[in-house]
């Protein structure tokens, strides 16, 4: 926690609340339910609600909020759709939650340039709906229908990243309201630039701790001419992982390559009323020309066969494809059904792909030996996989056991030159892993940047580099 920032006194908060009520009227609320909902967390972290939630509709309104908060040293926590996974929205010192979901204008689609300009409250599904008539799409797909502002903040990726990259690769420019209420424009709309420090990439993944994103220029992709998707079972996790490794190394430009372990397949079958073979399963998708997709699929088929995978089940019709990926995206909810009454915590380690089979296999052994229910899904083309650890958080013993498991998992990833988080971010829960992962000088550099851009420490305090180890 920024050592100089304290929870604002009730008197200070009263002044800020009065100021917000004066400007925003019924576009701000003190309702406890809304405040709690805005500190939504899918972790086991306690809900730490803000003091007030405000719903700005313009960049100028965001500036006004930040300036008011800066004048009184009150925390500012940006909120999109509440789908972050590491406690990024919690307000440990109270303060003002800035709900950007009302800022959902699509300001420009530059179809010729394959880019668009949006406000942060637009969700990825809304954007893709809008883009369809242009023959374009925004490829980053973290599963949840997150806002694009939230996706910028967490450096989101998801199922398509193996082909299209992550948010860091698909944001061209940002407008960001700084801790002083100024607007930083990070870049022009050109595809590449060497004009000074890469502020765009600095704000992507900063989890709202350096400013509030109010305008986003995104790269778009043409809707592929042909798409083909399907599922392929494997006799073991290792066989599936080895097939993935070979696919990537061979340079097949697979658009999606997702692993579900047998526990996850079972859960998905029940939840989504499917009848997938209850074995380790790869879901794959290819994008390209008709001929290109056929060639990719044939080559992948050869690799799968080499590792005893198959038979292939193709989802030929678009609606079958949608159903398959919806089932994959509902994996979190499906998994919760495996152990009703528990809470799920999604791990997020990512390792070099040569170590993927080792890392998943060791982790499976750990799960089995310790009696956890923890189905695994993974964006395996990137070396990233999630265990959804289902824990009775009322049981002290279970919680402790789970925390020890998480610790072992991160240590395992570090030992394999990987990271504790491929896409969910650091938030509150993973701060303890940052120094073991990157070392003290990197943390010192991050803290120096935070102090330089947010000297009062009001921007989403308590996240990323707040805690001194």
Question: Interaction with a copy of itself in 223-262: which residues (CB under 8 A)?
Answer: 224-225, 245, 248-251
Q: Does 467 bind a copy of itself (CB under 8 A)?
A: no
- Report the C-alpha dihedral over residues 96, 467, 463, 388, rounded to 10 degrees: -130
CB-nearer residue toward a copy of itself: 227 or 373:
227
Residues of this chain, 154-193, that bind a copy of itself according to CB under 8 A: 154-157, 161, 165-166, 168-169, 178, 182-193
Judged by CB under 8 A, the chain residues 291 through 310 that form the site for a copy of itself are 291-292, 295
Kindly state whether residue 93 participates in binding a copy of itself, applying the rule CB under 8 A. Answer: no
Q: Sign (positive/negative) of CA torsion 282, 288, 292, 294?
A: positive
Instruction: Indicate if the alpha-carbon torsion angle 325, 329, 333, 339 is positive or negative.
Output: positive
The correct pick among 425, 429, 457, 461 for binding a copy of itself (CB under 8 A) is 425
Q: Which residue number, 29 or 349, has a Cβ lying nearer to a copy of itself?
A: 349
**Phi and psi angles of residue 426, each rounded to the nearest 5 degrees, phi first:** -90, -45
Q: Binding residue for a copy of itself (CB under 8 A) from 439, 467, 468, 469?
A: 439
Query: What is the closest distance, in whole angstroms, from the C-beta atom of residue 449 to a copy of itself in the complex?
Result: 6
45 phi and psi angles, rounded to 5 deg? -65, 145
Coil, strand or helix at 386: strand
Instruction: Evaluate whether 153 touches 121 at the Cβ level (below 8 Å).
Output: no
Residues 394-413 that bind a copy of itself (CB under 8 A): 413
Q: Could you say whether residue 107 binds a copy of itself (CB under 8 A)?
A: no
> Which range, of 98-106, 255-263, 369-377, 418-426, touches a copy of itself by CB under 8 A?
418-426
Quick check: helix, strand or coil at residue 125? helix
Closest of 102, 143, 144, 142 to residue 122, by C-alpha = 102
Is residue 25 a contact residue for a copy of itself (CB under 8 A)?
no
Of the candidate residues 38, 382, 390, 456, the single one contacting a copy of itself (CB under 8 A): 382
Tokens 């001929």 correspond to 291
Q: Which helix H or strand E contains 185, and what residues bound it?
A: strand 183-185
Binding span for a copy of itself by CB under 8 A among 36-44, 123-131, 305-313, 444-452:
444-452
> Which of 1, 45, 106, 202 contacts a copy of itself by CB under 8 A?
202
Give, for 400, the enclosing helix (H) or strand (E).
helix 396-415
Stretch that binds a copy of itself, among 122-130, 199-207, 262-270, 331-339 (CB under 8 A): 199-207
Q: Is 283 in the site for a copy of itself (CB under 8 A)?
A: no
Separation of alpha carbons 303 and 284, rounded Å: 13
The verdict on 106 binding a copy of itself (CB under 8 A) reads: no
For 213, phi then psi, to 5°, come to -75, 125
Judged by CB under 8 A, which stretch of 18-26, 112-120, 307-315, 401-409 contacts a copy of itself? 112-120
Q: How far is the CB of 453 from a copy of itself (least distance, A)?
A: 6
Residue 27, sorted as left (phi over 0), alpha (psi -120 to 50) or beta, turns out to be alpha
Residue among 123 and 431 whose Cβ is closer to a copy of itself: 431
> Cβ neighbours of residue 320 under 8 Å, at least 6 residues apart?
none
The one among 100, 374, 434, 458 contacting a copy of itself by CB under 8 A? 434
- Among residues 442, 467, 468, 469, which is the contact residue for a copy of itself, using CB under 8 A? 442
Contact 140, 156 (CB under 8 A): yes
Query: Which segments of 171-253 does DSSP mark as H helices, in order?
Result: 199-203, 237-249
Tell me the site size for a copy of itself, rule CB under 8 A. Answer: 94
420 binds a copy of itself (CB under 8 A): yes
Establish if 451 lies at the interface with a copy of itself (CB under 8 A): yes
Candidates 3-11, 64-72, 152-160, 367-375: pick the segment binding a copy of itself (CB under 8 A).
152-160
222 binds a copy of itself (CB under 8 A): yes
Mark the segment that binds a copy of itself (CB under 8 A) among 22-30, 122-130, 285-293, 338-346. Answer: 285-293
Q: Which of residues 314-373 bind a copy of itself (CB under 8 A)?
A: 348, 350-354
What is the signed CA dihedral for 56, 114, 230, 156, rounded to 10 degrees? -40
Q: Hey, what are 83's tokens?
A: 């789908």
Minimal distance, residue 90 CB to a copy of itself, in Å: 17
Question: Buried (b) or exposed (e) across 116-146, using 16+ Cβ within 10 A?
Answer: bbbbbbbbbebbbebbeeeebbbbbbbbbeb
**Shortest distance, position 379 Cβ to a copy of itself, whole Å:** 9
Identify whether the C-beta of residue 261 lies closer than 8 Å to the C-beta of residue 375. yes
The total number of residues written for the chain in this structure? 469
* Token representation of residue 235: 């006799």
């Amino acid at each position: 926690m920024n050592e100089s920032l304290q929870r604002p006194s009730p008197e200070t908060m009263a002044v800020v609340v009065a100021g917000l009520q004066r400007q925003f009227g019924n576009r701000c609320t003190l309702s406890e339910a809304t405040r709690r909902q805005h500190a939504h967390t899918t972790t086991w972290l306690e809900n730490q609600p803000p003091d007030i939630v405000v719903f700005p509709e313009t960049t100028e309104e965001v500036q006004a909020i930040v300036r008011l908060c800066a004048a009184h040293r009150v925390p500012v926590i940006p909120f999109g759709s509440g789908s972050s996974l590491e406690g990024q929205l919690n307000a440990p010192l109270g303060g003002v939650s800035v709900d950007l979901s009302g800022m959902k204008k699509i300001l420009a689609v530059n179809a010729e340039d394959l880019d668009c300009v949006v406000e942060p409250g637009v969700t990825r599904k809304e954007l893709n709906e809008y883009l369809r008539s242009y023959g374009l799409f925004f490829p980053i797909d973290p599963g949840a229908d997150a806002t694009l502002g939230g996706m910028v903040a967490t450096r989101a990726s998801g199922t398509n990243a193996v082909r299209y990259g992550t948010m860091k690769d698909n944001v061209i420019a940002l407008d960001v309201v700084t801790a002083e209420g100024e607007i930083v424009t990070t870049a022009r709309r050109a595809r590449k630039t060497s004009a000074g420090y890469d502020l765009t990439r600095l704000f992507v993944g900063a989890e709202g701790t350096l400013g509030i994103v109010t305008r986003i220029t995104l790269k778009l992709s043409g809707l592929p001419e042909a798409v083909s998707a399907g599922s392929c079972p494997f006799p073991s996790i290792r066989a599936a992982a080895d097939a993935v490794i070979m696919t990537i190394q061979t340079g097949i430009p697979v658009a999606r390559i997702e692993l579900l372990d047998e526990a996850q397949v079972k859960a998905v079958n029940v939840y989504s009323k499917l009848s997938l073979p209850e074995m380790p399963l790869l879901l794959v998708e290819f994008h390209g020309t008709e001929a290109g997709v056929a060639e990719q699929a044939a080559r992948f088929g050869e690799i799968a066969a080499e590792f005893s995978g198959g038979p292939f089940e193709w989802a030929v019709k678009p609606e079958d494809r949608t159903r398959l990926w919806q089932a994959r995206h509902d994996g979190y909810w499906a998994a919760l059904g495996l152990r009703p009454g528990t809470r799920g915590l999604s791990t997020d380690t990512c390792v070099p792909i040569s170590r993927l089979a080792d890392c998943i296999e060791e982790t499976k052994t750990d799960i089995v030996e310790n009696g956890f229910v923890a189905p695994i899904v993974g964006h395996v083309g990137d070396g990233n996989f999630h265990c959804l650890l289902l824990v009775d958080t009322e049981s002290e013993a279970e919680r402790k056991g789970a925390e020890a498991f998480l610790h072992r998992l991160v240590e395992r990833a570090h030992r394999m030159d990987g990271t504790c988080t491929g896409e969910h971010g650091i938030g509150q829960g993973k701060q303890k892993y940052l120094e073991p992962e990157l070392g003290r000088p990197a943390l010192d550099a991050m803290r120096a940047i935070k102090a330089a851009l947010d000297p009062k420490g009001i921007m989403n305090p308590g996240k990323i580099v707040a805690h001194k180890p």
